[in-house]
Amino acid sequence: MASRAPARSPSSPFPSGRGPLAGWILALALFGTLLAPPAAWGQGEIVWVEIELAVDGAGQALVTYQARWQTSGKMRAFYFQGEQAEPWFQGGQAELPGGESWPLAITEVERGRWDIALAEDRAWGPGEATYTFSYRADLVASGQVGLTRTGEGEELAFLNWSPVAWDQPLTHETLVVRFPSVPMPRAGELPLAEVSGATGLRTEPWVNERYLITYRGEGDPPSLWVRFHRDGVGAREDHRVQLYLPAGQLPGLAAAAAERAEAARVEAARRVEEERARAAHRAEAERLARGRRLTLVLPLLLGLAALALLVAGRKLRGLVRAAATAPDLLWERDDWEPPRLRLSTFRKPGKVAELPDLEALVLLGLPFQPMLAMLLDRLEQGGRVLRERAEGALRLARSGSEPPDDEPYLGALWERLPEAPAPVPEGLAGELGELVVGTVQRKAWDADLDATREHYRKLFASLFPSVVALEGMKVAAEAREGERFYPGWVSRHHGSGPAVWGGESGSLVRGGGGEFGGAGATASFAAAMPELGAAPARASMAAYGAADLVSAYEHAACHSACHSACHSACHSACHSACHSACHSACHSACHSACVSGGSR
């Protein structure tokens, strides 16, 4: 809680010149103010954060945080959360205004959330204070350190880690990563070329673009030391890095990976056995249920059969009477007039459906296999998928303990990937394709599909022109490609390049996707597209006919009609009553989810 401001007592309960009634009203107001919760004037603001991550040869890490806070009143503690690995805290201390040091008390208040407070619940302020605390973590167990292979089969050790995000902006954030097991040729600052030549260090391109990076040899003998610095970090922004080293630089990882693989095998066997037991239990329950149904239903069926015979007898007598009027019921008559059918459609000519880039590409005819390749590239870009080659075959595994929450299709693909490296699941491209097609059907039930295709084709053509005359235009195109990942991926990996947007709206599907995976795709899953499995029977949305859309149209039409009628009636009555209660309950639970901060 924030500290309270000192209360001041008036010299008289009644202001001069006012009657007793006004005085009592003022006294009640002052009493209510004293009972109200304290204001947030005493809470702190975080200024900057600096982190040191020391990773040994077996993937075990020692993490040290330094966080500078400032307050104009009083402050006691803040919350720390968002670490993917399980931390074992080693304690810490705070340097208070005036240079005094004070130990920290670190308490887990709920799963994955810790209270970083001054010991003995001491408060400090006003001024600035620096909190320093450390913890150990197994980054192999959390999937943030492990082994992978390049497309050429070279085995690499990777580090894919981020400090926790904060709920307030920072003036700067600095991460130092130390590898004590990786020797350096000399001490002091070294250029990247010398570091790469001596250690085999590699980084993802986005890491070099995002941070100011310094390389050093530290210690005696000198070992690898890398600093990643960034100024002006926004609230809730991460500070992720992704590095690679030859597997021999972290010699303990192979044993750790073998232990994890064995644990995964044992867990998979346990799940299979549990599922077998559940299946046997279900079969026995079904057998007993069938016996009960026969006992109860057989007499009922006999009774219905007797009733049917009685009705059939009456019907037979009616047929005899109807025989005389049979000619009037025949279809082969000269005066018969066929009914006129009136066909209608829910589609509105010229209406363009609002679709995200991936769904718009599928509507344009993007085959499902290239779609799977681009989604895997997106997961790999975020460090959420591992790939390796075993006996020349591609093997995939998901990375991290939770699916991505920024895009639903990425989360669905992450869930379908195995926990340990294994071949690509059979039929994966077709499953994802049906999911996207179903979503497009629901969103575009009343839209003009031809107009929608033409709209997005022109949009992507304007974002990714086929001819770039000026260097400035090239930079702008690259920036757009980063913002619009999926159409940028198509422009890079389609055999026609950006000229693909200048053709027919269905040109993406030409050749069943055989025109993808061209130049520049060697590091992408586009190059491994033949290993993603056989093309599905329905290779793209073009394989879905008009009959496949009927259920979606009917559902959407009914939904639109019912929603308009019911929403207005219910919304006014329920909104006022529910909004205040739900907002208060949800806001406290969600406001600080997955980020650190929240001083008190």
pLDDT at 234 over 80: yes
Q: Are 414 and 384 in contact (CB under 8 A)?
A: yes
pLDDT of residue 473: 45
Strands (E), 424-488: none
pLDDT at 95 over 90: yes
H/E element holding 314? helix 253-322
pLDDT tier, 32 (very low <50, low <70, confident <90, very high otherwise): very low
pLDDT of residue 21: 46
> Is beta strand 170-183 parallel, antiparallel or unpaired with respect to 45-55?
parallel
pLDDT of residue 508: 63
Highest mean pLDDT, choosing among 127-136, 285-294, 425-434: 127-136
pLDDT of residue 15: 37
pLDDT of residue 559: 47
pLDDT tier, 103 (very low <50, low <70, confident <90, very high otherwise): very high
pLDDT of residue 351: 92
Q: What is the pLDDT of residues 115-142, one digit of tens each?
A: 999 999 999 999 999 999 999 999 999 9
What mean pLDDT, rounded, does the chain reach? 78
Q: What is the pLDDT of residues 561-589, one digit of tens each?
A: 444 444 444 444 455 445 544 544 454 44
pLDDT of residue 401: 84
Break the chain into its structural domains and give their ranges: 45-251, 252-296, 357-551
pLDDT tier, 37 (very low <50, low <70, confident <90, very high otherwise): very low
pLDDT at 383 over 80: yes
Residues 266-280 have a mean pLDDT of: 90
pLDDT at 3 over 50: no
Residues 18-31 have a mean pLDDT of: 47
Fold annotation for 45-251: Immunoglobulin-like (2.60.40)
pLDDT of residue 326: 60
pLDDT at 475 over 80: no
Half-sphere exposure of 416 (CA within 13 A, CB side): 21
Residues 1-21 have a mean pLDDT of: 37
pLDDT at 490 over 50: yes
pLDDT of residue 558: 47
Residues 464-493 have a mean pLDDT of: 63
Nearest to 38 by CA among 78, 80, 75, 13: 75
pLDDT tier, 480 (very low <50, low <70, confident <90, very high otherwise): low
pLDDT of residue 588: 46
Highest mean pLDDT, choosing among 2-16, 171-185, 322-336: 171-185
**Residue 46 φ then ψ, to 5°:** -80, 140
Q: What is the pLDDT of residues 518-532, one digit of tens each?
A: 433 345 766 677 778
pLDDT at 60 over 70: yes
pLDDT of residue 80: 95
Two tokens, residue 36: 């109200």
Two tokens, residue 394: 């591609």
Per-residue CA distances from 443 to 9, 269, 354, 452 (Å): 64, 42, 8, 12
Q: What is the pLDDT of residues 356-377, one digit of tens each?
A: 999 988 888 888 888 888 898 8
Nearest to 50 by CA among 34, 60, 64, 35: 64
pLDDT at 554 over 90: no
H/E element holding 104? strand 101-110
List Cβ neighbours of 233 (8 Å cut-off, separation of 6 or more): 166, 169, 170, 171, 172, 173, 239
User: What is the C-alpha to C-alpha distance for residues 290 and 57, in angstroms, rounded to an integer?
Assistant: 60
pLDDT of residue 97: 93
Bridge partner residues of 175 (DSSP): 51, 228
Which has the minimum average pLDDT: 74-83, 98-107, 141-150, 299-308? Answer: 299-308
pLDDT at 28 over 80: no
pLDDT of residue 107: 94
Cβ count near 148 (within 10 Å): 21
Which has the minimum average pLDDT: 257-271, 297-311, 494-508, 567-581? Answer: 567-581
pLDDT of residue 338: 53
Q: Find tokens 């219910």 and name the residue.
A: 570
pLDDT of residue 216: 95
- Overall residue count recorded for the chain in this entry: 600
pLDDT at 385 over 50: yes
Residues 432-459 have a mean pLDDT of: 89
pLDDT of residue 534: 80
